[in-house]
Amino acid sequence: MMSRRALLWLSGAGAAALAAGLWLPTPTALREAPEPGGLLFPGLAQRLDRVASVEFRRGEAKLALRRQGEVWVLPAMAEYPARSDRVRETLTGLTELRLVEARTADPALYDRLGVEDPTQPGTTAVLLRLLDSQGSAIAEVILGRRRMRTQGGLPEAVFIRRPNEAQSWLAEGRVLSDTDANLWVDRDIANLPASTLRQVLVQRAGEPELTLGAKDGQLAPIPPVAAALDPVALDEIARAFEVLTFTEVKPASRPTGEALGSARFEFADDLAITARLSRDGSGLWLRLAATGGAAAQRLDARWQGWAYQVGDWKEKAMLPRLGELEAKPAAPPAGAAPAR
């Protein structure tokens, strides 16, 4: 029969062991183990204001978005502003990811779902991380393949896995996972209808000044010239700012090669745009400034500080030479006898 002293000793040891078990921290994966039907990141929506950067990685490809006040920028593109709608969709998508069912926990099967190691070459998995201003992770997830839906009206779903956890999941929701910086910027520079153009004043290096005015809906030199003009060339000038986009961008303070000249495009509603063009080995570069009313101020605020690379054909549209506007004589038909 156990003595009273031994019984008291065992009771004390058991209490001590229980206290120690309660004191020892549990592993993160167990403490925050997700369950089907719940959000992948509970409470993340309330912590989005702490997010200072967003990082994507797929193999060797990396992309970062950084918050600058109320604007998100792309360090890989000289900190040019990122599309706010895509950033918002990404952050909102993470807060709404909801676990549907547990899938494999076998690393040998991860590649079937696209949730393998996102740092290995050739992977399709994308590691997405939200970081605070100190570089600490607020949320991170490995995004795998999207699940194809055979019926309409059903929400999108994606296979996911949390880093350092073996368990993978099918999650309901949509999160952008592009590592290409080009997909995160708005390439539109301007879109001004040709019908609103009133006058163009061209100052090209080494060429006489050229003034073009709108007349009967078309541009014509001022003063008029005797030579016949090419309507297609004039139309390209009128549409110089219609659906104008860029291919590359960099700070306006950086070199852009040889200066070609400038042109002032005057539009209706007191809007005037000065275009300065230059060329280097990579192509044609454009700097813009706008003056006028509220619309001009919005455009100027967007353009200031940037040099845009545009298509080479924009040189003739923005800095035309008078000789380039003259209509070319029609070529004689094939087989026609030469004139005597």
Domain count along the chain: 2
Please indicate, yes or no, if residue 163 is contained in any of the structural domains: yes
* Choice among 3-12, 53-62, 78-87, 238-247 with the minimum mean pLDDT: 3-12
Residues 199 and 319 in one domain: yes
Q: What is the distance between the alpha carbons of residues 292 and 116, in angstroms, rounded to a whole number?
A: 55
Please indicate, yes or no, if residue 210 is contained in any of the structural domains: yes
Please indicate, yes or no, if residue 237 is contained in any of the structural domains: yes
Residues 137 and 229 in one domain: no
Residue ranges of E strands in the chain: 53-58, 61-68, 71-74, 80-81, 98-102, 126-131, 137-147, 157-161, 168-172, 188-190, 197-204, 210-215, 218-221, 244-245, 248-251, 258-267, 271-280, 283-291, 306-310
Domain end: 152, 184, 216, which one? 184
Number of C-alpha atoms within 13 angstroms, CB side, residue 201? 6
The model carries a pTM of 0.79
Number of C-alpha atoms within 13 angstroms, CB side, residue 338? 1
Range of 171's domain?
33-184
pLDDT band at 26 (very low <50, low <70, confident <90, very high): very low
Q: CB burial class (10 A; 0-12, 13-18, 19+) of residue 322?
A: middle
Sign of CA dihedral 80, 86, 92, 95: negative
Model confidence over 139-196: pLDDT tens digits?
Answer: 999 999 998 666 666 789 999 999 999 999 999 999 999 999 999 999 999 999 999 9
Domain end: 153, 184, 215, which one? 184
Instruction: Report the share of the chain in percent with pLDDT over 90.
Output: 79
Residues 101 and 201 in one domain: no
Return the pLDDT at 31. 37
Residues 38 and 164 in one domain: yes
Residues 158 and 236 in one domain: no
Please indicate, yes or no, if residue 10 is contained in any of the structural domains: no
Contact of 225 with 211, CB cutoff 8 Å = no
- Here the tokens at position 271 are 């809007």
Average pLDDT of the segment spanning 85-89: 96
Residues 150 and 248 in one domain: no
Residues 239 and 301 in one domain: yes
Average pLDDT of the segment spanning 76-86: 95
pLDDT band at 53 (very low <50, low <70, confident <90, very high): very high
Query: At residue 333, does pLDDT exceed 90?
Result: no
Residues 252 and 300 in one domain: yes
Residues 116 and 179 in one domain: yes
Average pLDDT of the segment spanning 312-340: 80
Query: At residue 234, does pLDDT exceed 70?
Result: yes
Residues 151 and 268 in one domain: no
Please indicate, yes or no, if residue 316 is contained in any of the structural domains: yes
Domain end: 135, 162, 184, which one? 184
Residues 165 and 218 in one domain: no
Residues 178 and 38 in one domain: yes
Query: At residue 309, does pLDDT exceed 90?
Result: yes
Write out the H or E segment, with its range, that includes residue 327: none
Please indicate, yes or no, if residue 335 is contained in any of the structural domains: no
Return the pLDDT at 35. 73
Average pLDDT of the segment spanning 40-64: 97
Please indicate, yes or no, if residue 330 is contained in any of the structural domains: no
Q: What is the distance between the alpha carbons of residues 258 and 255, in angstroms, rounded to a whole number?
A: 9
